[in-house]
């Protein structure tokens, strides 16, 4: 009996224009489009192996060595079911192909970074899951087609199927068929941009993105202004800035959007706080750093952004990385007690293969 098995890995992506709010919670359709950078380095990845075998009793998944429940109708079950459906279509076209769609699968996934600490672990996880099943099933699907399925695992996962600069277009079809990730620019387009990850805390976050989003959609008046007016204009402006490699505009929009996302969380009832005092102190350092840069050169040198957790991601052209690391270590001397540099911050080459 041949072995049917495939392993793939997918990296984390960090949004510059944030996804926050669902218009359909089952299909995971967002209330606004979003845009992210896929961090192309080894330290923030999910690696997933899938194996199909008729002797397996049922579909089973282990995350970091621990078995996860695959609840009926839940997100994991949906992604596995959709991928088996695509395989069954392929089997109909190719009658000689083994009937893998009828075999249970065993899936084993590892994250090499803290899970659920606002470092987009679910994005990398679901992207790797879908990509490994696509490889196992030898599906001819494009990354955009696979993004439609990964989206139903975790919204932001759809963007991790591409490297480089990626938009998730919210779409308008009620069945979600046009709510997909597309590439804005490949990694090679702007290899100079780096991401510095400052792990302020690797504790699990207090309010999950699912429950936080739901509360925001139900209670925040600011969200309506954001999704109706602000985000559509920003999506266009930041895509243009990426195409033109205009870091100053990219940085300005990224920081404004992070700030508005956290403002929307504060506008939620009861409010949600994802940043802490250290996060805010890092904002102050980057703001001052940019103020001096604006005074001397007229352009910003760095952009901070925060997801649903206290950890900072700082985008900057490569030439500034050392200077910013030195600044952070000077203002946060506790940084030095971390033995593994990646437990405090890592430099992610965006655009380095």
Q: Which of 122, 132, 179, 220 binds ligand PMV (CB under 6 A)?
A: 122
Residue closer to ligand PMV, measured from CB, 285 or 308: 308
Q: Using an 8 Å Cβ cutoff, are 164 and 37 in contact?
A: yes
Q: Using an 8 Å Cβ cutoff, are 20 and 264 in contact?
A: yes
Q: Using an 8 Å Cβ cutoff, are 136 and 8 in contact?
A: no
346 SS3 class: strand
Interface segment toward ligand PMV; rule CB under 6 A; list 17-25, 40-48, 244-252, 326-334: 17-25
Interface positions, 308-347, toward ligand PMV (CB under 6 A): 308
**216 binds ligand PMV, rule: CB under 6 A:** no
**267 binds ligand PMV, rule: CB under 6 A:** no
**227 binds ligand PMV, rule: CB under 6 A:** no
Number of helices (H), then strands (E), belonging to the chain: the values are: 10, 15
**109 binds ligand PMV, rule: CB under 6 A:** no
Residue closer to ligand PMV, measured from CB, 59 or 307: 307
Interface segment toward ligand PMV; rule CB under 6 A; list 120-128, 177-185, 190-198, 330-338: 120-128
Scored b (16 or more CB within 10 A) or e, 198-220 reads bbbebeebebebeebbebbbeeb
**290 binds ligand PMV, rule: CB under 6 A:** no
Q: Which of 156, 258, 260, 268 binds ligand PMV (CB under 6 A)?
A: 156
Beta strand 193-198 with 29-30 is unpaired
Q: Which of 40, 59, 82, 307 binds ligand PMV (CB under 6 A)?
A: 307
Q: For residue 220, what are its two tokens?
A: 């925040």
Please tell me the distance from the alpha carbon of residue 323 to that of residue 197, in angstroms, as a whole number: 15
Binding residues for ligand PMV (CB under 6 A)? 15, 18-20, 34, 120, 122-123, 154-156, 209, 307-308
């Amino acid at each position: 009996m041949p072995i049917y098995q495939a392993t793939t890995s997918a990296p984390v992506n960090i949004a510059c224009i944030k996804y926050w709010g669902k218009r359909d919670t089952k299909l995971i359709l967002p209330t606004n489009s979003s845009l992210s950078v896929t961090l192309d380095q080894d330290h923030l990845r999910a690696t997933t192996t899938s194996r199909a075998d008729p002797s397996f009793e049922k579909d089973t998944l282990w995350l970091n060595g621990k078995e996860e429940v695959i609840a009926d109708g839940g997100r994991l079950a949906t992604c596995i079911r959709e991928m088996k459906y695509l395989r069954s279509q392929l089997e109909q076209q190719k009658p000689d192909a083994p009937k893998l769609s009828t075999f249970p699968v065993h899936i084993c996934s590892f994250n090499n970074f803290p899970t659920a600490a606002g470092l987009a672990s679910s994005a990398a996880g679901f992207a790797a899951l879908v990509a490994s099943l696509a490889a196992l099933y030898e599906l001819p699907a494009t990354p955009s087609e696979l993004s439609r399925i990964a989206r139903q695992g975790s919204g932001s996962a759809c963007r991790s199927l591409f490297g480089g600069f990626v938009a998730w277009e919210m779409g308008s079809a009620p069945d979600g068929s046009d709510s997909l990730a597309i590439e804005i620019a490949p990694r090679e387009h702007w290899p100079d941009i780096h991401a510095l990850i400052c792990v302020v805390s690797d504790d699990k976050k207090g309010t999950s993105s699912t429950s936080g989003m739901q509360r925001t959609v139900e209670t925040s008046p600011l969200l309506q202004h954001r999704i109706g007016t602000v985000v559509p204009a920003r999506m266009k402006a930041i895509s243009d800035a990426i195409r033109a490699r205009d870091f100053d505009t990219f940085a300005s929009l990224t920081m404004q959007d992070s700030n508005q996302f956290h403002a929307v969380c504060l506008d939620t009832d009861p409010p949600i706080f994802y940043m802490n005092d250290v996060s805010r102190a890092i904002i102050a350092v980057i703001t001052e750093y940019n103020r001096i840069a604006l005074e001397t050169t007229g352009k910003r040198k760095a952009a901070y952004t925060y997801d649903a957790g206290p950890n900072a991601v700082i985008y900057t052209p490569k030439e500034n990385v050392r200077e910013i690391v030195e600044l952070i270590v000077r203002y946060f001397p506790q940084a030095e007690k971390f033995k593994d540099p990646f437990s405090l911050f890592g430099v992610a080459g965006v655009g380095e293969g």
